[in-house]
Copies of this chain bind each other. A is one copy, B any other.
Amino acid sequence: MRPGEQLTVVLHQTRSTDNLGAVARIMANFGFSRLILSEPVLKSIEGAEKLAVKSDFVLKGMEVASDLSEALKDCVYAVGTTSRTQLKGRETLMPEEAIRRLAEQSARGRVALVFGGEQRGMSDEDLARCTDVLAIPTAAVQPSMNLAQSSAVLLYLCHRQSLTPTPVAEDEAPGAKLGTLGALAKRMREVMLRADFLNPQAPQHVLNELEQTLMRARLTQREAELWLNAFKHLDRAVTRGAST
């Protein structure tokens, strides 16, 4: 991973300007600069610059996204962070393994590291937007880490990973953007509901499972567009069938 080029830090539902400022500083410490606030809970970022010592360029370049899908739309890979080590149907990675994958996937396009809000962290639904999930191992006496400190640990590992010479990746086709995969998931949901495959009371669980398999498949952008196109056609066909 080339520092500051491919990595995007996403703060989802952040509440504290102190944390925002501290994250900006640690990003500057480790040579990263692309920051996106997703669905921010704070009303203004005033006060963040106090802790963002010599890193106001990170705050100035920061983007705001209305939700997590929007924040991740141009990334090919995203790791969500959680303090929960048991997740239904998903493996939680150790930080070193997750950061290794982040570096590897950065050969395909932009990659994101996503942090949840201070109060509840990331929900299962938020984590379903991410390709992988990591948990920093902590002690039972106090398992919950401060946001600024967990970002310090993970961005340090990203920085170290980028300092370690890695074999040059062969020319990979551009990876599927999560925005395209998100549009695909949305289309799949509509079609599968219409086709009575998904339970309309609780469609998300099964849909998430399907989505995850596509994420794991490391689709290229072209393949994702093919899938999307296929489901557009299926949608039309199913809709026609329903109206006859």
Which residues of A line the B interface, CB within 8 A? 3-4, 22, 25-26, 28-31, 51, 53-55, 57, 96, 136-139, 141-146, 148-150, 152-153, 156, 159-160, 163
Contact = CB atoms under 8 A, between A and B. Distances in A.
A97 to B, nearest CB: 12
A25 B146 CA distance: 8
B30 A138 contact: yes
A149 B29 CA distance: 10
Nearest to A163: B137
A11 B160 CA distance: 25
Contacts of A136: 156
Stoichiometry (number of copies): 2
Nearest to A143: B29
Given A136-B156, A156-B136, A31 B149 contact: no
9 contacts: A25-B142, A28-B142, A29-B142, A29-B143, A137-B159, A137-B160, A148-B152, A150-B152, A152-B152
Contacts of A143: 29
A136 to B, nearest CB: 7
A142 B55 contact: yes
A41 to B, nearest CB: 19
Contacts of A57: 141
Contacts of A25: 142, 145-146, 149
A162 B145 CA distance: 19
Contact of A142 (B51, B54, B96, B163): B54
A152 B55 CA distance: 19
Nearest to A140: B31
Nearest to A139: B31
B26 A145 contact: yes
Given A137-B163, A163-B137, A29 B145 contact: yes
Nearest to A18: B18
Given A3-B139, A137-B159, A153-B152, A22 B146 contact: yes
A30 B143 CA distance: 8
Contacts of A139: 3-4, 28-31, 159
Contacts of A22: 146, 148-149
